[in-house]
A and B are shown apart, each in its own frame.
Chain A
Amino acid sequence: MNSTANLVELRDIGVRMGRTPVLRGLDLTIEPGEVVGIRGANGSGKTTLLRLVATLLRPSEGTGRVLGAGLTDPARYEIRRQVALIGHVPALYDELTLEENTKFVARFCGAGAERIAEVLDVVGLTEARTRRVRECSAGMQRRAEFARVLLGNPKIVLFDEAHSGLDASATPLVEHVIKSVVAADGAAMVVSHQEDRTAPFTDRVLELDQGRLWEAA
């Protein structure tokens, strides 16, 4: 895939959970370097959309490609490593320390000890690195997730409530993580209820309403 190709292309996508339609007739294109904000009410399908773009969900209808791989092709397994998803619930092992969690991810990303120390420093967890996750605040856990993104150098980063658990002083960190991905011809999708905190770095904002995606006014 060349660098100018769209990173995400979804056409007439529908996703059903059981008999309930969650996404309907959804079209979305994301180009390299783009930061797309997504807003929508609870239950509008934001998380489903992120998991779909992460190729963790298969569409019930429609077609789509992420980083050149079809959403139902076996090739999607290969591109997943280039996608980072920061969801509602932290993907951390509660009984491991922040550093051990970061090392766990680093082993799969091929990152060394120096890089681990560097990203922990960037996200402001150097001092807290020996704390177990279950002893950490939601904000610290969020920062550990950002460290994971920085380690993996993904082409696409997907944030579900980017600022969840973070105070205002962490806004530059969110921006730094997004910029580091976008600067390498990547893209970001940011779901947030706090639009005022994401607006400064989103190129466009889409509204998800009853499973359909609209260009926000």
Chain B
Amino acid sequence: MSLPFWSQAGEIARADLRSESRTGEVMAVTIPFGAVALLLIPFGIGTDAPLLRQIGVGIYWAVVLLFGMLVALRRSAAEGPAQRDLLGLLGVDPAARFAGRALSTGVLVLAFEVVLGPIAIALYDARITGWAWLILVVPMVAAGLALLSTLIGSIVGGSGAAPALVPFLVAPLAIPMLLAATQSLEGLRLGESILAWLLLLAAMDLVLAIAGVLTARPLQEVR
């Protein structure tokens, strides 16, 4: 008997999130560091309020990207070879494993975004209209970042390369995502249409999801 795909993914994600809820690595370690990064950057720039307001959105997304990557890395490192073997022998579909891992990472990155959002707004005095669009933008960025980090983590893990390579591979590939996220919020601030940027985010999420699912089996078997 084999569990349906999404049940398998759900089990993996649930185990990951339950572990996270007990270690509190993201909530207790990464989020405070992210908040401190947001707090320190204005000191480096100065007290030019209009400038801070203008670049605040970009800084927020850059911090999300950097720390989101860290979240994904920590989750990838949490799974050792013995657990990978176990999942293989339990007959877990590698694509479901990818989906489950991306799902749990996405939830954590989303939590990171949601907690840091109000901090960024308060610190940078960001004035955004069209708040409702954030309900789409924020989860789409979280999903994209989670999918990208999980995929690159699998490739690096599968090839036996050093985990230190992950940020160097994730960062350049995440640039279109960072651009789309920043421009979406900038568009909202200026009251312009952000449809093109949303489509870019959606396309990236879709391409990453397909790439992750299609490469899951070969990447698992290469070990």
Contacts and interface: CB of A to CB of B under 8 A. Distances in A.
Interface of A: 51, 54, 56, 58, 77-78, 80-81, 83-85, 87-96, 100, 104-105, 107-110, 132, 148, 152
Given A108-B3, A110-B1, A87 B18 contact: no
Nearest to A132: B22
A95 B80 contact: no
Nearest to B3: A108
B90 interface: yes
29 contacts: A51-B85, A54-B89, A56-B85, A56-B88, A56-B223, A77-B91, A78-B91, A80-B88, A80-B90, A80-B91, A89-B82, A91-B82, A91-B86, A93-B15, A93-B19, A94-B19, A96-B15, A100-B15, A100-B18, A104-B11, A105-B86, A107-B3, A107-B7, A107-B11, A108-B3, A108-B90, A108-B91, A108-B92, A152-B90
Nearest to B10: A107
Nearest to B94: A77
Interface string B62-100: 000000000000000000111101101111100000000
Interface in B173-200: none
A212 B92 CA distance: 32
B23 interface: yes
Given A58-B221, A110-B1, A104 B85 contact: no
Interface in B1-31: 1, 3, 7-8, 11, 15, 18-19, 22-23
Contacts of B1: 110
Contact of B85 (A87, A96, A100): A87
Interface residues of B, number: 23
Contacts of A108: 3, 8, 11, 90-92
A37 B89 CA distance: 22
B82 A83 contact: no
A150 B89 CA distance: 14
Contact of A95 (B3, B8, B23, B221): B23
Contacts of B90: 80-81, 105, 108-109, 152
Nearest to B21: A95
A91 B83 contact: yes
Contacts of B23: 95
A189 to B, nearest CB: 14
B11 A95 contact: no
Contacts of A51: 85
Contacts of B22: 95, 132
B19 A95 contact: yes
Contact of A96 (B7, B18, B81, B91): B18
Given A56-B89, A85-B89, A108-B91, 4 more contacts: A90-B82, A100-B18, A108-B11, A109-B90
B129 to A, nearest CB: 42
Nearest to A78: B91
Contacts of B221: 58
Contacts of B88: 56, 80
Contacts of B8: 108
A81 B19 contact: no
Contacts of A94: 19
Nearest to B91: A81
Nearest to A79: B91
Contacts of B15: 93, 96, 100, 104
